[in-house]
Amino acid sequence: MKALRWQVAVIVAASIIFPLVIRSDYYQHVLILALMWVVIGSSWNLLAGYTGQVSFGHAIFFGIGAYTAGICATKVGMSAWWGMILGGPMAALIGFVIGWVCFRLRGPYFALATIAVGEIFRLVAVVWRSFTGGMQGILLIQSFRSKLPYYYLALFLALACIYAIHAVMRSKWGYYFIAIREDQDAAESMGVNAFRYKSLSLIVSAFFTGMAGAFYMNYMAFIDPEVVFSLHHISIMAILVGIIGGVGTLWGPPLGAFIMVLLQETFRSAFFGLAPRWVSELHVLVFGLLVIFVILYMANGIVGDWTKIQRLWSSKAGGGASAAGKGS
Amino acid sequence: MAVFIQTVVAGILMGGIYALIGIGMTLIMGVMKIINLAHGQLMMVAMYITYVLYEYVHLDPYAALLITMPCLFVLGAVLQRYLLNPLIKVDSILPENQVLMTVGIGMVLTELARMIFHSDYKSVRPPYTSMSLYAGSIAFNLPMVIAFGIAVLLTIGLFLFLLKTDVGKSVRATAQNKEAALLLGVNAERITIFTYGLGAALVAAAGTLLLPIYYLFPDLGGAFTLKAFVITILGGLGSTVGAIVGGVVLGVSESLGATYISMALKDAVGMVIFLLVLIFLPGGLKRLTKI
């Protein structure tokens, strides 16, 4: 980590300066989304990558955060910004309850249960019209016209999330998490209370995902159940961010978040208008293909398999050099 | 009372089709120990094949079974051979890699369908779909009865196959204990390919049978994948008998839920059953029936 310190400083400095240099609203918007996904992906990774509990339901926490913020504004008469304070704890609370139920299950069963719970939340948000607004969703008015406040807030959230996960993983908790991932029975026989530490991992993960959700509500100013409780666009996207960057690594999900969001935007805008319009419909297809490719060839993601990628590169470069040498 | 009986009848008929979906899923789960999250999407592919055959060749949807089932068998076998089996050798942190792969496969299938057919709803309505049979005041929708009948026949056929043939016995052996099956000379890799193909063919049959009473759009796959695993969890992983019971239970409870609670919450019924089973009867009905 020490060797990485100056690189981290460079990244942080660059991301602080970025919006002051690049004044285009569009690029700032893409970056804001990427930073939000850094938070969601890293949180997912804490639970799935480090603790080994693969969740297919992170949309629950994202949605809870977003709806907490939204309902603060529509029903309670407070500002939606209260969501930034209440959204995280609310999601953590729901996370605790869900964990209490679902951690009786292991491995794939846990994954399935999280899908089921996610679907229940989505359906409830659709049906409970008087409270959530149903399919009409919640529409607010953005507080700021400039993107800058949102950008710095997202940056702060992302850095706080990465730092928190870094700190957690360096503490005793982190060792317990990994022990549970590697072999839950062995960990329990060594006296690790697996249920408690899985719950803690889920609570931290849910907290930050809920914060990201509350941020989304404030930033986008519109949510509906199909957006924030979406299995494909949130839960599975969180998984993609994690596995493409690299599960069980600190910098994997942040990298994955940038790759996924840039990819999504590139396709959605049909290569920034350069390609024919129909290309914009391809972005989910490309995600799917990317998942297949990454799982087949880089099972541990870009960061996790970085040495493998480097070796592949250097052997190619080396081969090229020696061939060139022979030629001369 | 008539409403109640009507609801249960509709539920049981639907349950026959659900059972077919569930059996395919449970076979795959039993042999490969993975959850096939592309199951509904495979069904969607079969439905589009049926649709194309009906629309352009005017082939009756029930005759299309003879085409969709082999097609999906091949598709399933290819997916298993080239995308899922290689993962067994890959070393990774998450054991759920194969499950994630099926998610990827499902996404690709859905998006390909969207590219080719766009997102609008399609349906196949041969003239006889609106006919009903009556027993007293209870109506039996004809295509549902046909679907139920064919589903029962296919299930019986599958049981005979699993119990009587060598390949069927190898499938069951691999599901029970892969290592032991390997030692006894079962080519486990080939069996996994065959099983995924078989599972895909069964869900293809379900899709084709469902099309005359349902409608079709690319995102339909996801909803049925959820149903498929509700059925499988309810029945107990790898239990074919359980999948049949689970299918019927899901069919009836959805039908009751739609009539007595709310149409909008129909899909939530399945999820709630699913959670209740996971919490109170982990292992599903298999725990009670032992098969």
pLDDT in tens, B219-259: 888 889 888 888 888 887 778 888 888 899 999 998 888 88
The domain of B246 spans 2-289
CB A110 within 8 A of CB A103: yes
CB-CB neighbors (< 8 A) of A248 in chain B: 93
* Candidate from A27-36, B26-35, B54-63, B247-256 with smallest mean pLDDT: B26-35
Check pLDDT > 50 for residue B107.
Answer: yes
| Cβ within 8 Å, pair A288-B108 | yes
The confidence score (pLDDT) of residue A65 equals: 94
Contacts 24+ apart (CB under 8 A), A97-106: A98/A57, A98/A60, A98/A202, A98/A206, A99/A198, A99/A199, A99/A202, A99/A203, A100/A199, A101/B275, A101/B279, A102/B278, A103/A53, A103/A195, A103/A198, A103/A199, A103/A202, A104/B278, A104/B279, A104/B282, A105/B278, A105/B282, A106/A184
Contact A50, A196 (CB under 8 A): no
**B265: confidence class by pLDDT, cuts 50, 70, 90:** confident
Q: Using 50, 70 and 90 to split pLDDT, how confident is the model at A254?
A: very high
Inter-chain contact B103–A236, Cβ cutoff 8 Å?
A: yes
Q: Average per-residue pLDDT in chain A?
A: 87
Interface test mutation site (partner A, options B37, B100, B109, B265, max chain A beta carbons within 10 A): B100
SS3 A57: coil
CB A298 within 8 A of CB A305: yes
Which of A110-114, A183-187, B87-91, B172-176 shows the lowest mean pLDDT across its residues? B87-91
pLDDT reported for residue A209? 96
Q: Is 0.95 surpassed by the pTM of this model?
A: no
Tell me the pLDDT tens digit for each residue of A130-143. Answer: 888 888 888 888 88
The total of structural domains in chain B comes to: 1
Cα A325 to chain centroid, rounded:
46
Q: Picking from B121-125, B128-132, B178-182, B219-223, which range would have the lowest pLDDT averaged per residue?
A: B128-132
Interface of B with A (CB under 8 A): 34-35, 83, 86-87, 90-97, 99-101, 103-108, 110-112, 114-115, 222, 226, 229-230, 233, 262, 264-265, 267-268, 271-272, 274-275, 278-279, 282
Task: Please report the domains of chain A, with CATH numbers, ordered by start residue.
Answer: 24-297 (1.10.3470)
Q: Between residues A132 and B282, which one has the greater pLDDT?
A: A132
For strands B132-135 and A222-223, give the pairing. unpaired
CATH number at residue B101: 1.10.3470
Segment A104-125 shows an average pLDDT of: 85
* Predicted pLDDT at B69: 94
Of all residues in chain A, the percent with pLDDT exceeding 70 is: 95
The interface residues of chain A toward chain B in range 123-142, judged by CB-CB distance below 8 A, are 123-124, 126-127
The string of pLDDT tens digits covering residues A3-27 is 678 888 888 888 888 888 888 888 8
The C-alpha of A147 sits at a distance from chain B's nearest C-alpha, in angstroms, of 33
pLDDT over 70 at A325, yes or no: no
User: What pLDDT does A3 receive?
Assistant: 60
Q: What's the average model confidence in pLDDT over B51-78?
A: 92
Q: What pLDDT score does B73 carry?
A: 95
Please check whether residue A237 touches B, CB under 8 A.
no
Note the Cα B84 to chain centre separation in Å.
19
